[in-house]
Amino acid sequence: MNVLAIVLPVFCMLGLGMAANRFGWISRAGMDGIKLVATNIMLPVVLVDALGMAEYNKVTLLLLAVMLVQLFIATGAGYLLRPLVGGSQGRYLPFLTATFEGGMMAYPLYIALCGSEMLSNIAALDMANCIFTFTVYLALITATGKGRSGGGQLLSTVLRAPAMYGVVLGILLGVTGILPKIAGSRVGDVYSSLISMITTPVSALILLCVGYDLKLDHRVLSSAGKSAAIRLVLQGVLLMGVWFVLRNFVAEQEMKIAVFLYAFMPPCFMSPLYAVREKDKVYTSTTISLYTILSIIAFTILSVIFG
């Protein structure tokens, strides 16, 4: 019953999102508005609270270093494995083997498993992903699509990402100890009520958006399926390496769940935005949708194991 209580709400929200798209209950403009509220307002507040209340020590630095190395290896492997996909789609394989979708997938699923108060565990893993995505990843995928990467465009993309501000502000408030002092002061109850009001709907809204955008285009299922399989195998191998390094530093069950769940998250959802040709957009979108399904399966298995 505990596992069902964890998994069923997730599937319900994904199903509602798919139905809203299929039957036209919510327009694309309406769903885009919901997504903006969830990711540009609610999610940054969640990140500020989670990272602001987190502990910062040598283990945090180790997590950051290990995940950065993992991301560079995954990207390099993607370049080496491009011939397995072939065609123009193969150019985008490195951007589907590396990076993780934290905000739209890892966070809501982890909250469903462990609660928002434990979110700092997976946010700690996602810090490296944020740094990598808004620097190396953006430069490489922009160069792939346009033949060059404009520094001004990359800087503009970074500065327009509210989640990045949430990460930076959360870390500052956590490292300086300001947020824990506020939470432990006389206004702590007011702070907790305010945070709860803002963040409680975030998981449901994000999962609704993910379900709405799940699309499988039969024209590219073969190449997308190969790409999803390559990522699954590669991330499985890298997970073994990550766990080998971290196994003696990760004692809490919630942190173990974070490591394993995060490893099976889909690649960054903004990949199709940087694909220039329509067929490349369809390929990247379909690959992400396929892998999102695999992520939900992995989430269900982890719910059974740890639930």
Share of the chain above pLDDT 70, in %: 94
pLDDT in tens, 273-290: 777 788 888 899 899 999
Cα angle 92, 97, 102; round to 5: 110
Asked if pLDDT for residue 156 goes beyond 70, the answer is: no
Residue 105 identity: M
Alpha helices for 23-80 (secondary structure H): 28-37, 43-52, 58-80
Tens-place pLDDT, residues 246-258 = 988 888 899 999 9
Residues 4 and 52: their CA atoms lie apart, in Å, by 31
Instruction: For the beta carbon of residue 149, count every other beta carbon within 10 angstroms.
Output: 15
Residue range 60-103, pLDDT digits in tens = 889 989 999 999 999 999 999 999 987 777 889 999 999 998 88
Residue showing tokens 């903006």: 36
For the chain, which residues make up each domain, given as ranges?
A: 2-306
254: Cβ contacts below 8 Å, ≥ 6 apart? 114, 118, 121
Residue indicated by tokens 């935005």: 273
Residue 126 above 70 pLDDT? yes
Residue 168 has what pLDDT?
A: 84
Say which CATH class 2-306 falls into. mainly alpha
- What confidence category does residue 46 fall into, taking pLDDT thresholds of 50, 70 and 90? confident
